[in-house]
Amino acid sequence: MYCHHCEKKQTDDAIYCSQCGRLLADGEETAAALSTERSMLLSEQVASVEIDEASQQPSKPKKTRRRRAKSSILAWLMPIILALVTAGSVFSYYIYQSEINDRVIKLHVEAKAEALAGKYDKAQKLLQEASDARPGFGALQKDAEIVALVAELAQSITAAGKQLEERKLEDAEQTLERINGELKGHKEPIYIKIKHQLDNYNVKLGVMRLTEELADLNTVDELESRLNIANQLDGEEALAVKEQIVAKIVDISYKDAEALLKKKNYSDALALTDRALLFAKDNERIMSLAKKITDAQADYEKREQRRLEQAMQQAAAEDLKNQTAAVEVVKIESTLDEFGDLNIVGELKNAATRPIYSISVQFIVYDADGKEVGKGKAEATPDYVDPGQKITFNSTVYGVYVENTTVVVDHATWYLD
């Protein structure tokens, strides 16, 4: 058998609930049946007595019969009166217990409302008052334990908030971690306020840590890692620190990109501005610098193209000269001896842009009329000559016998180093 009010299990012969005191449904039927049965038994006994007396005694006077009639009526009324008294007592006790239950329920409801509003001390007093009225009510005891735990957590949350105000971040972090551990597995509505405060303080702690670290961060990589942490935080304070991190990323990127621009390292400079725009989309400062770098790069590439073309032309000219005009004649002197032989001394120069070696020349001798009167070939010394250095050659043309001659180097050969 179970109580229809508090649902506590009762014995089969119980009339009243041992938990809340209410009259059980089966108990009402039993009480009524007992009263009826008792009345019937009493009636039967009275009837039996009257029959016995009638059978054993002869007829009595009229006054005696009246007395017997009154006794018979009283015998019939006594069970009824007893039943009414019993029913009245039971009803009075039922009303009394119902009033206690209603009061306990009211106190319980008020305690829950106060607890949900964060007034834990008041909720505990109400639960204690309800428990005093119904000491064996398990729901009251369980709720009292929950409110006591929440009240303790509320004190810890308050302590964490004070630690944050005093910038004792390590102590605050330990306190918040402990509270978070104690809240695990609790999903009751009474814990919502504590969890909300815990979330707020965790965000505040994260923001304060990031703010402290921000002054010492000087690279985009470091700032990016902190920005990833800030992106996991909510609230206005978190938004403010995100904006500070992004602003610092922009400043560092702008400064580094400008330095690379001065060094004409356009590719790396543009890489920095592109990365900065990932964090600060449409930032006018970075976009303006990126355009400046792009324009400078385009201009530089044009100038480089022209320079390369000129260099190629110059190189081609130099190569042509090295291949065809590496030996330049500085001067040639000739002397006719008494035997009619012409002694020739020539001075040459390396006009190439590279060293040359194994230089030899062929020359022709002309008279005053421009008629060829001789020719020859000579090896120049030294054998190896750097660009711009001079070399000489000596030779003799025999049997010229002509004064006022002109010696012309007709052909020269050499090897480029």
Confidence label for 341 from pLDDT (cuts 50, 70 and 90)? very high
Mean pLDDT over residues 387-416, rounded? 93
The CATH-assigned architecture of domain 326-416 is Sandwich (2.60)
Mean pLDDT over residues 268-274, rounded? 92
* Position 39 pLDDT exceeds 50: no
pLDDT at 68: 64
Q: Where is pLDDT greater, at 294 or 138? A: 294
Q: Looking at 76-85, 110-119, 369-378, which range is the least confident one?
A: 76-85
**Global pTM value:** 0.48
d(CA 238, CA 417): 71
Domains in the chain: boundaries: 1-134, 137-212, 217-298, 326-416
For 325-340, how does the pLDDT look when each residue is reduced to its tens digit (9 = 90+)? 999 999 999 999 999 9
Structure tokens of 362?
């062929």
d(CA 342, CA 332): 12
For 206-239, how does the pLDDT look when each residue is reduced to its tens digit (9 = 90+)? 888 888 877 788 888 888 888 888 888 888 888 8
Q: 336 vs 61, 92, 339, 347, 380, CA distance in Å?
A: 212, 167, 8, 18, 21
For 153-179, how does the pLDDT look when each residue is reduced to its tens digit (9 = 90+)? 888 888 888 888 888 888 888 888 888
pLDDT at 347: 95
HSE-CB at 369 with a 13 A cutoff on CA atoms is 4
Q: 7 — alpha (psi -120 to 50), left (phi > 0) or beta?
A: left
Give percent of the chain with pLDDT exceeding 70: 78
